[in-house]
Structure 1
Amino acid sequence: MTLYTPAPLLRPFGEDKPTLLVSWWITIFATIIIALRLAGRYVRVEKLWAEDKVAACSLIPLYMRMACVHVVLLYGTNNVQLPRGLQFTREEIHRRSIGSGLVLFSRILYPATLWILKYVSLHFFSRLIKATGKRRYYYTLMFVRVSLGITFLAVIISNLAECRPFHAYWQVTPDPGPQCRQGVASLLTMAVCNTFTDLLLVVFPVPIILSSKIKTSRKAFLVLLFSLGLSAVIVSSYRVPKVLDENGYQGTRTTWASIEILVGTIVANTQVLGSFIRDTGVKKARFRPGYEHNSHSGTNSKGAGGLSSFQNNNTNNMTLMSHKDNWGDEVDERGGVTGMGMSTTIKAQSSMDTDFSKSPSGRASEDSLIPKGSHHHSSNSLSQSNLSGVTAVVRTTRIEVTVEDADTGSGRQMTPTPPKPPKPPMQVRSASVRGTGRGSTKVLQQVDAPLPGGLSPPSRGGLNS
């Protein structure tokens, strides 16, 4: 088997219709997978993370490639051999020239789609090693990033540098030669670079998983999960000999390229979609009536009169919580890893995050809402408490009084009675011949007058006594 072979024989368009249908089906299925990822992420945390946006960007080259493939399969390419005695018409030459040029463009969009999906997994790994805090993983990550960039450039160069002159890529007659119509160099370069990068993405997370403090069964499951990238290696390895056996026939080449894109999409999104199905990983805290969250912050609540910090589960708060037993399912946007013996990341955007402490009986005590002791002591303890962001809660009671009508027996509210008129001021009585009135100035003057016989009048204090 030689690398460059004669062109395949001319086939009718009816034989390429299944390839066209399969390519469209794969494109739609890949779109559904990415759409489920975006919808699931937005439902759980009400926003998209960086790798979700990168995954959405892969749809652009995916559909551009599919548009090119549709025209290529419909018009044909210059990689075809006519039976003896047949010649292309001017219209057929024009159509095949357009198809050959779009083949060159689709061979650039095809690796662009796959490399964007690879970068989605790489972005997840970058947050994973950020949570571990080990510097040696940063150098490995940097090596993988540089490898992705170099391999992508190598694939693009192999597509554009194989044929000379450049316009011979879309030349139909005369025959431009196998270097310009079969694209063997780009096929081999793509297979090697794709296999190398897939192996890097499979091997990279294995040391992190094995060094974690999780169960052995969980480690085995995670290794198998990340080993799904080997399926892309198998498809890429099988695609090369299959295309060469059919002399670079465009229908076969398009079919296996579409299958490889589907496998790459599944590998890049399986880990996230699996966490959505199992309802694990990072998600927004939902308000559940009657649910009481026990605070583990260890904050002293005695100074606040029995008040403790509590978690407000209002749906307006963007609280991202991660579960401790879900490592490998998801890592939050700041790089917090769940499980693996590490601390759980809780991201809250509310300054009033409080939760009532539980009573010894296991239920939240309503008495904890009211500070103990006097009002003055309670206010001082709240002002001097070392709790930050704690708001005192005062329980108030509203009482409505209803008076029962004795005659009708119907309940009605009391109506206020009109106020009584003020009493008239006290009048001072004047002195008369038989006596004097109390409170009169004249009486005091008479009492202070000297008595006959040289006796002094008694003091006012004596009179008052």
Structure 2
Amino acid sequence: MGSHADFVIEAFTLLSIGILIIFLRTYARLRQVGIRNFEADDWLMLLVIVPYTIETALAYTVGAQFRGLTNSGMTDEERKTLSPDSDEYAWRVGGSKIQVAGWIMYASVLWLVKAALCAFYFRLTAGLAGYKTRIYIGFAFIAATYIAIICCILFSCQPFSHFWQIYPNPGNFCQPALSKIYIFVIVCLNITTDIYLLAIPIPMLWGARIPKVKKYGLLVLFSGAIFVMVAGLLRCFLILQNPDTGPEEGASWAVRESFVAVVTSNLPSTWGWMRQKLKPLFGSLLSSNNVSSKYKGAEPGSIMLGDGRGSGWRSRSGRADNGLGTVNSEHNVYIHGGGDASSDEIIPSLPEGIKKDVEFTVQESEPQR
């Protein structure tokens, strides 16, 4: 690992970028629906900023104030001879307390992101048969696993003061920087919840009747949890590999993993808006019309996902958006439009018959004189 100064620059740079991305997402949603029409995922993602900032500050404190020390990485002889009046003793006690708080903030960031994603999927699949139950189960799964993790962190070592006990050796479960119960419980629950969340949009996108290039792009866009899982496994490996540098190494990788989670979870809801803004620079590369003629026209299931344009359909809030649309049949709508309206509730239908009912509003405006 590099010097502490290098980590400080990295940590606060990642924090700044992460918060900027959340604000960018919020700005896009403000332009699309207005603050009165914000939904659960919008507020949850803003709430992520609080534990994310605290987590980064704690990771900084581990190295800056407590020299990366905790009550782990010591022999029994070192524990016995370390004076309670020494600076090192104070650093190890303080560093251990920071580690307990850091684990709680780390879990809070990841699980708030999961809850925001689940709420986003709820909005995304509104009206599609079979998805509502899956998402409710997802919310329950996220809540139950978060409670389990917090209980694991707080009650795995009793009495609680043993979390920062130096002598005698309190045992692995009372060494928060290297606690195997922390590491394995959080990693396992993190991976299982991410896999469940991936199972919501991926099958739907895989079966959608859209061009393969766009389909694969959307699959990658919605598969950001894979990168979070890899980062979590890497963090687990690095902590267990070296007990001496584990505390500071773990804090560093917690910040990196949280950053990856924030970025990848915000991409699906901001991509359509960003594509519209970047189109003047990249032209046809980002054009939604640059597809094979096989997919042009009012093809059933060819409704585009997250285009960021207005679509002439009425959202659940009852607000009508101006745009152009073509009704193909009684239930299928192929939509192209203009403006800044949100389109992230429009879902491509599966060829086997999953359909989304859309209330389509045609409005006529007075000609300008």
* Same topology, TM > 0.5: yes
Letter in 2 for 1:238: L
Matched, 1:281 2:307: yes
Letter in 2 for 1:146: A
Q: How much has 1:354 moved relative to structure 2?
A: 3.4
Structure 1 CA distance, aligned partners of 2:221 and 2:57? Answer: 33
Residues 271-420 of structure 1 aligned to structure 2 (within 5 Å): 271-279=268-276, 281-282=307-308, 319-320=320-321, 324=334, 332=342, 336-337=345-346, 340=349, 342=356, 354-355=364-365
Q: How much has 1:190 moved relative to structure 2?
A: 0.8
Structure 2 CA distance, aligned partners of 1:71 and 1:336? Answer: 42
Structure 2 CA distance for partners of 1:216 and 1:331, relative to 1, 3 Å? farther
Structure 2 CA distance, aligned partners of 1:217 and 1:71? Answer: 45
CA contact (8 A) 1:45 1:283 kept: no
What stretches of structure 2 of length at least 5 have no aligned partner?
277-305, 314-318, 326-333, 350-354
SS of equivalent residue, structure 2 residue 126: helix
Structure 1 CA distance, aligned partners of 2:93 and 2:237? Answer: 27
SS of equivalent residue, structure 1 residue 90: coil
Letter in 2 for 1:65: E
Give the match for residue 257 of structure 1: 254
Matched, 1:52 2:39: no
Give the match for residue 265 of structure 2: 268
SS of equivalent residue, structure 1 residue 209: helix
In the alignment, which of 197, 200, 217 is matched to residue 196 of structure 2? 200
Structure 1 CA distance, aligned partners of 2:72 and 2:4? Answer: 14
Q: How much has 1:40 moved relative to structure 2?
A: 2.3
Q: Which has the larger radius of gyration?
A: 1
CA deviations 1:317-373 (Å, max 9, x no partner) are x754578568xxx9959x84165475656689xxxx5325xxxxxxx7x9xxxxxxx
Give the match for residue 141 of structure 2: 147
Higher helix share: 2
Q: How much has 1:139 moved relative to structure 2?
A: 2.2
Letter in 1 for 2:34: E
Structure 1 CA distance, aligned partners of 2:310 and 2:57? Answer: 39
CA contact (8 A) 1:68 1:106 kept: yes
Letter in 1 for 2:155: A
Matched, 1:228 2:224: yes
Q: How much has 1:242 moved relative to structure 2?
A: 1.7
Structure 2 CA distance for partners of 1:331 and 1:202, relative to 1, 3 Å? farther
Letter in 1 for 2:346: V
SS of equivalent residue, structure 1 residue 100: helix
Structure 1 CA distance, aligned partners of 2:59 and 2:217? Answer: 38
Matched, 1:191 2:187: yes
Give the match for residue 43 of structure 1: 31
Number of aligned residue pairs: 308
Give the match for residue 27 of structure 1: 15
Q: How much has 1:282 moved relative to structure 2?
A: 4.5
CA contact (8 A) 1:336 1:344 kept: no
Structure 2 CA distance, aligned partners of 1:59 and 1:17? Answer: 23
CA deviations 1:366-404 (Å, max 9, x no partner) are 9xxxxxxxxxxxxxxxxxxxxxxxxxxxx9xxxxxxxxx
Percent of aligned positions that are identical: 19
SS of equivalent residue, structure 1 residue 164: coil
SS of equivalent residue, structure 2 residue 170: coil
Give the match for residue 127 of structure 2: 131
What stretches of structure 1 of length at least 5 have no aligned partner?
1-10, 286-294, 297-317, 357-363, 367-394, 396-465
SS of equivalent residue, structure 1 residue 130: coil
In the superposition, the TM-score normalised over structure 2's length comes to 0.72
CA deviations 1:186-217 (Å, max 9, x no partner) are 11111111111111121211222244343344
Structure 2 CA distance, aligned partners of 1:138 and 1:45? Answer: 23
Structure 2 CA distance for partners of 1:141 and 1:321, relative to 1, 3 Å? farther
State the superposition RMSD in angstroms. 3.5
SS of equivalent residue, structure 2 residue 127: helix
SS of equivalent residue, structure 1 residue 269: helix
In the superposition, the TM-score normalised over structure 1's length comes to 0.58
Give the match for residue 290 of structure 1: none
When structure 1 is superposed on structure 2, of 214-223 and 145-154 the one drifting more is 214-223
Higher relative contact order (CA 8 A, sep 6+): 2
Q: How much has 1:129 moved relative to structure 2?
A: 2.4
Structure 1 CA distance, aligned partners of 2:342 and 2:111? Answer: 23
